[in-house]
């Protein structure tokens, strides 16, 4: 049955064909005509002379060029020659005066699309532009038709190659079967050509006895010549006539199945088993050729591939999430630099200081994003060292207090003298705790009407663990946000957040064998409580907890 012809739809006009370069040395014409063309749906680029027009053309590659013939320096005719030499398919329309008709006719000989005379009438310009777009569409359709024809030719050629391949496979199978028909009477010097195949190959007679095997079969599975076909299958020993060779003898058909094979040393592994009947001249199944491939390595590679795919998917989400955060940071950085520049120009030092403060804040956010991305991309083993809780708190508060003061937020710390010592990887846990402080500051800034704000830090401990708390009186969270707070790429800050900070903070705490608890209510602030064992589990050799 013939296949139905492929239905083709006319391709839509791409946006690139609406990009137009307007070159005219009169600013009024560029402004008025540019607005008219933009209202008609064109993306308009403008140039004041031929040199500027050629530079813009080489950079932007507009599909249509509308240029005045009379321009200083490089005129319209020279511009037409240069454009056609570099891009013959670009449509060029020239604007002429009534005294330039000879130049206009010359432009047509140089393959200009059309010319329009000054003063430019909208209807005449629309006709010329329509002709240019029709020529662009005609070339595009011709390219599409050519590509479609090539595709159809490739498809038909592939079908022909596939038919020839199938025919060759049939011939190869027939020849392979013929080569084994005489093996039943002579196996001592028998099968040699398959001895080096990277799988277990064996020949069985119709009584389910192994009559020949390749070296890999014998080295891994033992010397089984003369033994029963089902013995290598531990799950078939109670029902031997359901083993792959028996089913092939019974049905007379090739079979494929996944089985468990037991090696000579007692180890078991999954295998993909193919059996092929070999018939005598009477058409009866005389021998069965069995191929078994150890797929334990394949299974491992599949799992590795799955893990890699999940990691790549997470990386894609991370790129998307980080891009939103970076866009917000760049917008803020632009605003800070604008304030600084305008303050310098106006002699207003307070505005310069305000701009530098905004820029400094954006740089700090860039630093946090970069550190979060690096932490997500490469996880290293814990390198814990013993230190007092007071030392850790001092290092933490020395960094956190700077941001709090900058925003007018009071930071109150209470470190218990009995907090003692603990083993901690400061390079992993310190950024995690700073993420909690950063979120506390952001929560306070989100509720300016309730200021002035206070962030409280507490550190205490008992014989088994250390407890660190960060409490704010900011905007707070509802149950829905609190339930998703530590999910990868979830952020309650919109485009201002990457969704990495709290996820990585929790991972850092979990790697130390600890945990994070959160208490929060809308309008009443939040408290993050971090519990850490005196000795991190990963450092002591126990497997780390994961999220």
* pLDDT for residue 160 is more than 90: no
Which DSSP symbol is given to 162?
H
**Rounded Cα distance, 491 and 369, in Å:** 13
Task: Kindly list the strands in the beta sheet with 200-205, ordered across the sheet, starting from the edge strand earlier in the chain.
Answer: 210-213, 200-205, 285-294, 268-279, 255-262
What are the residues whose beta carbons fall under 8 Å from the beta carbon of 537, sequence distance 6 or more?
512, 513, 543, 544, 545
Pair 311, 278: CB distance under 8 Å: no
**Own/partner pairs for 431-434, CB < 8 Å, 24+ apart?**
431/371, 431/375, 431/504, 431/505, 431/508, 432/504, 432/505, 432/506, 432/507, 432/508, 432/509, 433/396, 433/400, 433/468, 433/470, 433/505, 433/530, 434/396, 434/399, 434/400
Average pLDDT over residues 218-229: 91
**Does the pLDDT value for residue 45 go beyond 90?**
yes
Provide the whole-model pTM.
0.37
Look up residue 511 and give its two tokens: 């790697």
| pLDDT score at 170 | 42
Q: Specify which of 101-110, 310-319, 381-390, 482-491 reaches the highest per-range mean pLDDT.
A: 381-390
Q: Which two tokens stand for residue 329?
A: 């940071």
Whether the Cβ atoms of residue 359 and residue 335 lie closer than 8 Å to each other: no
Q: Is 283 left (phi over 0), alpha (psi -120 to 50) or beta?
A: left
Is the confidence at residue 544, as pLDDT, over 70? no
Q: For residue 7, what pLDDT is reported?
A: 44
Confidence check: pLDDT of 43 > 90: yes
User: pLDDT tens across 344-394, in order?
Assistant: 888 888 888 888 877 777 776 666 666 655 555 556 677 888 999 999 999
Cβ count within 10 A of residue 305: 10
pLDDT of residue 307: 66
Structure tokens at 365: 């956010």
422-443 pLDDT, tens digit per residue, is 998 887 888 888 888 888 888 8
Q: What is the pLDDT of residue 327?
A: 58
Q: Return the minimum-mean-pLDDT range out of 62-71, 115-124, 170-179, 482-491.
A: 170-179
**pLDDT at residue 198 in the model:** 56
- Out of 119-123, 133-137, 470-474, 504-508, pick the least confident: 504-508
pLDDT band with cut points at 50, 70 and 90 for residue 512: confident
For the CA atoms of the chain, what is the radius of gyration?
Answer: 39
* Higher pLDDT, residue 392 or 484: 392
pLDDT at position 499 over 80: no
Q: Would you state the structure tokens that stand for residue 170, as one six-digit string?
A: 């049939």
Mean pLDDT for the chain overall: 79
pLDDT at 156: 79
**Which are the contacts of 543, defined by CB distance < 8 A and separation ≥ 6?**
537
Distance of alpha carbon 146 from alpha carbon 354, whole angstroms: 61
- pLDDT of amino acid 180: 41
Rounded distance between C-alpha atoms, residue 194 and residue 229, angstroms: 19
Bridge partners of 117? 96
Query: Locate tokens 């596939």: which residue?
Result: 162
Contacts for 15 with CB less than 8 Å, ≥ 6 apart = 43
User: What is the share, in percent, of the chain residues with pLDDT greater than 70?
Assistant: 76
**187-201: average pLDDT:** 52
């Amino acid at each position: 049955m013939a296949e139905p012809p492929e239905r083709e739809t006319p391709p839509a006009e791409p946006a690139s064909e609406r990009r137009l370069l307007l070159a005219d040395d009169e600013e009024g014409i560029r402004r008025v005509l540019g607005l008219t063309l933009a209202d008609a749906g064109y993306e308009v680029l403008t140039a004041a002379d031929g040199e500027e027009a050629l530079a813009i053309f080489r950079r932007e590659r507009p599909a249509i060029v509308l240029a005045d013939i009379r321009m200083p320096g490089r005129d319209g005719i020279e511009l037409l020659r240069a454009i056609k030499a570099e891009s013959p398919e670009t449509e060029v329309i020239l604007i002429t005066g009534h005294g330039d008709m000879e130049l206009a006719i010359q432009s047509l000989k140089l393959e200009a699309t059309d010319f329009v005379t000054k003063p430019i009438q909208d209807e005449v310009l629309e006709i010329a532009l329509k002709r240019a777009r029709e020529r662009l569409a005609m070339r595009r359709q011709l390219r599409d038709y050519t590509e479609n024809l090539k595709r159809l030719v490739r498809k038909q050629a592939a079908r022909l190659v596939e038919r020839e391949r199938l025919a060759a496979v049939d011939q190869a199978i027939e020849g392979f079967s013929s080569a084994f028909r005489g093996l039943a009477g002579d196996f001592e010097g028998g099968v040699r050509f398959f001895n080096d195949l990277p799988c277990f190959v064996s020949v069985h007679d119709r009584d389910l006895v192994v009559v020949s095997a390749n070296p890999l079969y014998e080295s891994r599975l033992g010397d089984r010549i003369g033994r029963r076909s089902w013995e290598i299958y531990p799950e078939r020993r109670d029902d031997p006539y359901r083993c792959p060779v028996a089913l092939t003898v019974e049905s007379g058909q090739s079979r494929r199945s996944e089985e468990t094979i037991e090696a000579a040393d007692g180890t078991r592994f999954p295998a993909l088993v193919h059996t092929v009947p070999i018939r005598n001249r009477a058409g009866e199944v005389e021998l069965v050729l069995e191929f078994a491939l150890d797929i334990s390595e394949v299974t491992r590679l599949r799992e590795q591939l799955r893990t890699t795919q999940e990691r790549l998917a997470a990386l894609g989400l991370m790129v998307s999430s980080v891009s939103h955060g970076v866009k917000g940071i760049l917008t803020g950085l632009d605003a800070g630099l604008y304030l600084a520049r305008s303050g310098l120009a106006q002699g207003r030092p307070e505005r310069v200081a305000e701009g530098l403060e905004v820029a400094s804040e954006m740089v700090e956010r860039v630093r946090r994003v970069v550190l979060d991305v690096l932490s997500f991309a490469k996880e290293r083993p814990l390198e814990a060292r013993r230190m007092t809780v007071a030392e850790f708190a001092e290092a933490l508060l020395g960094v956190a207090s700077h941001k709090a003061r900058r925003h007018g937020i009071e930071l109150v710390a209470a470190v218990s003298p009995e907090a003692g010592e603990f083993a901690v990887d400061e390079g992993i846990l310190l950024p995690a705790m700073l993420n909690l402080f950063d979120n506390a500051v952001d929560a306070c800034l989100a509720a300016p009407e309730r200021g002035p704000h206070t962030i409280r830090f507490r550190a205490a401990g008992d014989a088994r663990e250390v407890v660190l708390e960060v409490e704010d009186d900011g905007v707070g969270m509802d149950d829905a946000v609190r339930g998703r707070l530590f999910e990868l790429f979830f952020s309650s800050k919109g485009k201002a957040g990457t969704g990495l900070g709290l996820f990585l903070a929790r991972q850092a705490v979990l790697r130390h064998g600890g945990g994070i608890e959160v208490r929060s209510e809308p309008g009443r602030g939040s408290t993050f409580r971090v519990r850490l064992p005196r000795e991190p589990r990963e450092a002591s050799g126990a497997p780390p907890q994961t999220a």
